[in-house]
């Protein structure tokens, strides 16, 4: 019972935070410094890990596909498998997971410590709504940066697949052939589909992490508990949302 009310409470406060933050959207231009700072943290500093991970995801995808496809002699279609899986599923989900682990946890830790050390209370008494100063720039930065991360993840993943396809003996497909197949079966709408997913996941992750941070109660111990909760909730939400969003986006093809 307690858990159920806690979950409902979480949903409610997240929505409220979203509405509050969006109601301050007009103040974004004069918060440009914070916006750029968050862009830097969310986008630029997350790029290396996104690039490395997506490279290896693409590679391993090609490897596994090559292994299972050789049974049918259909290795030449690896490009389409890597292309579509990366664009539609793995790219966005991986970006969202990295965002939860790397950015979301940091956001929760920062906001939770601000809450525990009464900085949030200080902001409130100064009539500076935390939703405006702390949440809005992060959400805006996420919206702007996630598509960039996602497209890089897609391209790097494809590239990783191409390299594996060329240098693995059991596959041995030239990059030209790999990319020709990839181009033929991966349409821009698939990539777009993935970008929409990534955007949504990223937004939800950052919003949820902000909310959990701001709702931390108690002492410094709770900061760690909040971070753990934020990451767990983010991961669950990403995968649950992924299922439903895929269902919704499928018929729109």
Partner 1 sequence: MTCSSTRSPFSQVETPAVGVSIEKLSKDFGRLKVLKEVTFAVEPGEIFVLMGPSGSGKSVLLKHIVGLELPTSGRVTVDGKDAAAEETREQVRMALVFQSGALFNSLSVYDNLALYPREHRVANEAGIREKVMHALQILSLEGTARKSPSELSGGMKKRVAIARALVMEPQLMLYDEPTSELDPVMSATISEIIATVKEDYHVTTIVVSHERELAFGIADRVGILMGGALISLGPAAELRSPQDPRVAEFLNPKIDLQHPRFKNLET
Partner 2 sequence: MNNLQQTTRVGLFFILGIALIWVTFQTLSGGKIFREKGYSLIAGFESLKELKKGDEVRMAGVVIGAVEETRLAGRRAEAVLRIHPEVQIKNDATATIVMAGLIGTNYIGIDLGTPGAPALRDGAEIRTKATPDLTAIMTQMGVLGKKLEGALGSISTAVTGDGKTPGLFQKLDKLVSDNGENVNATVANIRQVSDKLNKGEGTLGKLLNDPKLHDDLVATVNEIKGTAAEAKTFVANAQAIVDQVKAGKGTLGALVYDDTTGNDIKASVKNIRDISDKITRGEGTLGKLINDDSTLRDAQAIMKKADRALDGLDDTGPITAVGVVARGLF
The footprint of partner 1 (CB under 8 A) covers: 110, 113-114, 117-119, 121-122, 124-128, 133
CB of 188 to partner 2, least distance (A): 4
Q: Is 28 exposed, middle or buried (0-12, 13-18, 19+ CB in 10 A)?
A: middle
> Which of partner 2, partner 1, none interacts with 67 (beta carbon under 5 to 8 A by kind)?
none
Under 8 Å CB-to-CB from 219, ≥6 apart: which residues? 116
Residues 138-197 close enough to bind partner 2 by CB under 8 A: 144-145, 147-149, 151-152, 154-155, 183, 186-191, 195
Of the two residues 39 and 84, which places its CB atom closer to partner 1 in the complex?
A: 39
By CB under 8 A, tell whether 117 contacts partner 2.
Answer: no
Cβ(197)–Cβ(91) under 8 Å? Answer: no
Rounded-to-integer distance, Cα 233 and Cα 244, Å: 16
**Distance, C-alpha 53 to centroid of its chain:** 13
Q: Which of 10, 20, 31, 47 binds partner 2 (CB under 8 A)?
A: 47
Of the two residues 34 and 102, which places its CB atom closer to partner 1 in the complex?
A: 34
Under 8 Å CB-to-CB from 187, ≥6 apart: which residues? none
CB of 161 to partner 2, least distance (A): 15
> Which of partner 1, partner 2, none interacts with 151 (beta carbon under 5 to 8 A by kind)?
partner 2
By CB under 8 A, tell whether 120 contacts partner 2.
Answer: no
CB of 128 to partner 2, least distance (A): 21
Rounded-to-integer distance, Cα 133 and Cα 30, Å: 11
Of the two residues 27 and 183, which places its CB atom closer to partner 2 in the complex?
A: 183
Question: Quick one: which of 147, 122, 139, 134 has its CA closest to 198?
Answer: 147
Of the two residues 95 and 210, which places its CB atom closer to partner 1 in the complex?
A: 210
CB of 127 to partner 1, least distance (A): 5
By CB under 8 A, tell whether 58 contacts partner 2.
Answer: no
Residues forming contacts to partner 2 in the complex (CB under 8 A) are 33, 36-37, 39-40, 43-44, 47, 144-145, 147-149, 151-152, 154-155, 183, 186-191, 195
């Amino acid at each position: 019972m307690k858990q159920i009310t806690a979950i409902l409470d979480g949903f409610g406060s997240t929505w409220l935070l979203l509405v509050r933050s969006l109601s301050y959207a007009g103040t974004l231009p004069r918060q440009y410094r914070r916006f750029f700072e968050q862009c830097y943290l969310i986008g630029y500093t997350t790029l290396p890990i996104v690039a490395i991970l997506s490279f290896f995801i693409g590679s391993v995808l090609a490897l596994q596909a090559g292994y299972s496809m050789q049974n049918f002699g259909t290795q030449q279609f690896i490009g389409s498998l890597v292309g579509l899986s990366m664009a539609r599923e793995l790219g966005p989900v991986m970006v969202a997971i990295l965002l939860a682990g790397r950015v979301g946890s940091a956001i929760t830790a920062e906001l939770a410590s601000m809450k525990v050390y009464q900085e949030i209370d200080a902001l409130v008494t100064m009539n500076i709504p935390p939703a405006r100063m702390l949440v809005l720039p992060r959400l805006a930065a996420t919206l702007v940066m996630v598509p960039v991360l996602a497209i890089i993840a897609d391209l790097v993943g494809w590239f990783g697949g191409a390299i594996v396809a060329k240098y693995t003996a059991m596959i041995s497909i030239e990059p030209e052939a790999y990319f020709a197949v990839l181009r033929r079966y991966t349409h821009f709408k698939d990539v777009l589909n993935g970008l929409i997913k990534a955007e949504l996941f990223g937004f939800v992750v950052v919003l949820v992490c902000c909310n959990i941070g701001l709702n931390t109660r108690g002492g410094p111990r709770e900061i760690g508990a909040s971070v753990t909760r934020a990451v767990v909730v983010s991961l669950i939400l990403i995968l649950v949302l992924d299922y439903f969003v895929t269902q919704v986006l499928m018929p729109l093809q």
